[in-house]
Structure 1
């Protein structure tokens, strides 16, 4: 069964689409990390490293709901065998089966929040492949603009953005948005220009579904460390440091554990 985390009356459910190695050696992904920092990170999250020292990723989406109410899905995984992530990620993903195991019908998914438009986070939201035929898809306008300007270099605009616009299901933001009581989209730029996260709050409890605001436990221990795939490393660092001080827990797409204390 999928792993869950309670935030007051709200439940956050981790849905693992796939797992596999990263295409870049982790020493190149975090060039400033020291041997001591790696040792501490591996002790904190041993499932994220193989016996050979490879970086082992989970590819997760998260479902958020109150009781039996509508579902907010945060990220949409790597997708099926023919998805845009197939050239590097372990397709096909198993998100539809994970939803079924969690007792969620795709028709219950009212909103899909894509933390960003990298192809390992939006696969099952692509209309040609998606079981979510009625859900609105929430993105930041800055990420849409990036792919619109470079539409000949990636398929996100042609396969995701344009079809969703044509169906009237694309919701473009400039900043934050309250989705439902206790569920709010917050801008967390840096990894991409329009990276966003979902803040889940009830009373004094809080959890940030963080997407790729951080990608490895080494950044939980040392949030100042830059990640080579960040669009703006300085902005990503400032965002990460600020966000981790503001919440009690995080849910991170690629860590070995689905939920961690901030």
Structure 2
């Protein structure tokens, strides 16, 4: 079966998608979705602006942001970058004026579909500690923590900036704060990318220089929508430091456009894997989804 046209994929959340990247098996594990109201999420946009991207909008006039995590498998080990929103659902009238419905609950089923159990995850790495990225991480069962074998990685800045209060104290002995450039899993390094939060982190996965590429970069919430690839200067309501976030986005896109780079953008509807390339004028960028 041929993949759906890109226009259809821009307004729906991603299903489970797996790619081979060098020595790694990478799987987007869907958990749910959040609707983003464009003129609220991007302060300053008007209703007239949204006429320019109707293919990105759902029936409610919202951008659709996928929620989930990235499973990184290497040899017999497994890393999970972010853990979705968890088994919760908020109706649009219970979220925020810049958002619509917020839904989680699918990640454990996605993990099972990918052939892994929670106990097999030895490392959970967070881009940051917002609810839609840590939802399943700290849940337990009557036999103890759901992810019973996992250590928790996050940037040192995120840990010092409030992480100790966001992660249950009983799990603090599992936390491994990391600094910029530190390897947190074989071939996976943390990259500080502040702005959305003070300690926000992206992750870089080393490729083998073959057809898959030299490296894959995980955006986290540096980017929430493919539209921002062409418009990195749009402010985001929930960025803690909007000026820093714009600087980070701009630098991220310039770096991501380097040859041999693949990007995983977990919120990008059903186009979560792709490449950034220069536009025709050479002064901006566009998003090229991978099938």
Q: Are residue 179 (structure 1) and residue 192 (structure 2) matched?
A: no
> 1: CA distance between counterparts of 2:22 and 2:159?
34
Aligned equivalents of 1:190 and 1:52: distance in 2? 29
| 2:128 counterpart of 1:124 | no
Please identify which structure carries the higher strand content. 2
Shift of 1:37: 6.4
Superposed CA deviations along residues 162-221 of structure 1, whole A, max 9, x for unmatched, are 2211xx211122323213343211111110001001111213322211111111111112
Shift in CA distance, 42/186, structure 1 to aligned 2, threshold 3 Å: farther
Structure 1 residue ranges (4+ consecutive) displaced by more than 6 angstroms after TM superposition: 34-37
Q: Does 1:80 align with 2:94?
A: no
Instruction: Tell me, yes or no, if the aligned pair for 1:208 and 1:251 is still in contact at 8 Å.
Output: yes
2:35 match: 21
- Deviation sequence 1:53-103 (CA, Å, 0-9, x none): 12222112001122x4211100011112499xxx64645511111000011
Alignment of 1:109-188 (within 5 A): 109-128=121-140, 130-147=145-162, 157=165, 160-165=167-172, 168-188=173-193
Confirm or deny: 8 A CA contact 2:118 2:147 kept in the other structure.
Answer: yes
Say if 1:72 and 1:110, in contact at 8 Å, map to a contact too.
Answer: yes
How many pairs were matched up? 242
- Structure ID, larger Rg: 2
Alpha-carbon deviations, 1:109-137, whole Å to 9, x = none? 11101110111110111143652112000
Q: Would the aligned equivalents of 1:41 and 1:221 in 2 still touch at CA under 8 Å?
A: no
Secondary structure of the structure 2 residue equivalent to 1:212 = helix
1: distance between equivalents of 2:26 and 2:117?
16
CA root-mean-square deviation = 2.6
- Give the structure-2-normalised TM-score: 0.74
